[in-house]
Copies of this chain bind each other. A is one copy, B any other.
């Protein structure tokens, strides 16, 4: 199965090159060294070379014989690239399987063969996905043949617990000694939240709204520097994304959440961690109650 594009390595690299040019604010005419790029993206020169040829075709770079590629357009003329980089490693099929389980289309037990037939996926890809899912705890390999969904995804209890967990963990992260802000990341998060307040909220897809919310929480926890705290929050969010996929949230409530988020950013950047932690606790508990109402329907 030849993938449409996003999954081809050189396509991803091409996007990354553009992104890099923008990040480094490179002017038209500057030289793009193959080995430089290869090192930056941790690949060999081969895929970089293909990517550059691609960009030449798009008139972004120009080739000079025996001198390599040079920027034809300055960084300001380049389109920001869609977030393929963040999406990287996430498989669409992952969500499709979860979806089909939640909607009842996929029974409690199933065999790999069944999935291969149903989704037309290949064995290796499935093996990877399934082990990942079982590692995340919502799928289990049976001793003999087949797999079985755990009750995790469907039970309200899990949902409550996920909020409880965040309520315990996240404020603690804020109060960790050595808490150090990554200003660039914080600025990015602030922009994302503010733009939603400014009306973009209604235009964005459910998935994007969720991503931004999760990103906020992951970023403020990440500043604690403790990899286990970060991983814990990430893990919960991945599961939460599946759980909330079917819940249609009241968008006006979301406005309040965004305000909370920005307030919390303010407190953290002002260095008032105790207050930020307290506020975060309240924020999470309010959010939790709101969601429980929705699920109770």
User: Which residues does chain B contribute within 8 Å of A164, judged by CB atoms?
Assistant: 176, 226, 228
Q: Shortest CB–CB separation between residue A296 and chain B, in angstroms?
A: 19
Q: With an 8 A cutoff between CB atoms, is A107 at the interface?
A: no
User: Which residues does chain B contribute within 8 Å of A9, judged by CB atoms?
Assistant: 143-144
Q: With an 8 A cutoff between CB atoms, is A77 at the interface?
A: no
Q: With an 8 A cutoff between CB atoms, is A118 at the interface?
A: no
Q: Shortest CB–CB separation between residue A55 and chain B, in angstroms?
A: 17
Contact with A144, one of B44, B141, B148, B236 (Cβ below 8 angstroms): B44
Docked CA distance A114–B138 (Å): 32
Check B227–A148 contact: CB distance below 8 A: no
Q: Shortest CB–CB separation between residue A38 and chain B, in angstroms?
A: 9
If A127-B128, A132-B135 touch, does A229 touch B165 (CB 8 Å cutoff)? Answer: yes
Stoichiometry, as copies per complex, reads 2
User: Which residues does chain B contribute within 8 Å of A47, judged by CB atoms?
Assistant: 143-144
Main secondary structure of the interface of A (DSSP, over half): helix
Question: Which residues of A199-255 are within 8 A (CB) of B?
Answer: 225-229, 231-232, 235-236
Contact with A142, one of B42, B231, B236 (Cβ below 8 angstroms): B42
Check A165–B135 contact: CB distance below 8 A: no
If A131-B132, A231-B137 touch, does A148 touch B226 (CB 8 Å cutoff)? Answer: no
Q: A147-173: contact bitstring with B at CB < 8 Å (1 yes, 0 no)?
A: 010001000001001101100110010
Question: Which residues of A108-156 are within 8 A (CB) of B?
Answer: 124, 127-128, 131-132, 135-137, 141-144, 148, 152
Check B161–A168 contact: CB distance below 8 A: no
Check B137–A227 contact: CB distance below 8 A: yes
Q: Which residue of B lies closest to A177 (CB)?
A: B164
Q: With an 8 A cutoff between CB atoms, is A43 at the interface?
A: yes
If A158-B227, A227-B152 touch, does A43 touch B142 (CB 8 Å cutoff)? Answer: yes
Q: With an 8 A cutoff between CB atoms, is A94 at the interface?
A: no
Check A148–B228 contact: CB distance below 8 A: no
The 4 closest A-B pairs by CB, nearest first: A165-B228, A43-B144, A135-B135, A161-B226
Contacts from A to B (Cβ < 8 Å): 9, 12-13, 41-44, 47, 89, 124, 127-128, 131-132, 135-137, 141-144, 148, 152, 158, 161-162, 164-165, 168-169, 172, 176, 225-229, 231-232, 235-236
